Amino acid sequence: MKPVTEPEIRAAFVNRTKGEAKRLHVPRDLADRPWPDLDYLGWRDPQAPDRAYLVTELDGRLAGVALRSPAAPSGQARRSMCSMCLTTHTGGVSLMVAPLAGRAGQQGNSVGVYLCSDLACSLYVRGLRSAGPGARLHESLTLEEKIARTVGNVTGFVANVARDSRR
């Protein structure tokens, strides 16, 4: 994706009010992010690790979703698959929930998704980060096709949250 700035990020959230978007945590190291290798920018709030955020390009514009990641269950880490990049982790996938805005949000509705806990799907798809042996399926797809699939999953999710937040 193209590099983005903090004001662009704050203006992009589809499920936060303007006031909330102004206050939420945005990474300070935006200049150092590996933009050409990112399908979306994802991060957590270091002061509130249950809060996660992702922004991506949707129909030529930047769109962002604020997520809540409930505390990981204690005990044995389970193997599960990220629904965006299809990487399997042992204990490295979180169920994240996007609270909706608008009328649906007032009724307490949200959209859930299983996501790499470190929000680094782009790096796993490209082999730039590894989740260990067996984490990636052996597929006959090219890298470009895997990237396109991940982009489709992420933008589909963001589009759903945006659509349902306008109701």
Least separation in angstroms between residue 154's CB and Zn ion is: 9
Q: What is the DSSP letter of 32?
A: G
81 bridge partner residues: 88
14 vs 85, beta carbon nearer Zn ion: 85
| Three-class SS state of 67 | strand
Least separation in angstroms between residue 153's CB and Zn ion is: 9
Q: What is the DSSP letter of 77?
A: P
* Nearest Cα to Cα of residue 102 among 16, 40, 39: 16
Contact (CB, 8 A) for 13 and 65: yes
14 vs 113, beta carbon nearer Zn ion: 113
11 vs 97, beta carbon nearer Zn ion: 97
* Nearest Cα to Cα of residue 64 among 50, 78, 52, 82: 52
77 vs 166, beta carbon nearer Zn ion: 77
Helix (H) or strand (E) holding 49: strand 48-58
Least separation in angstroms between residue 149's CB and Zn ion is: 11
> Which spans of this chain sit near Zn ion (rule: CB under 5 A)?
82, 84-85, 116, 121
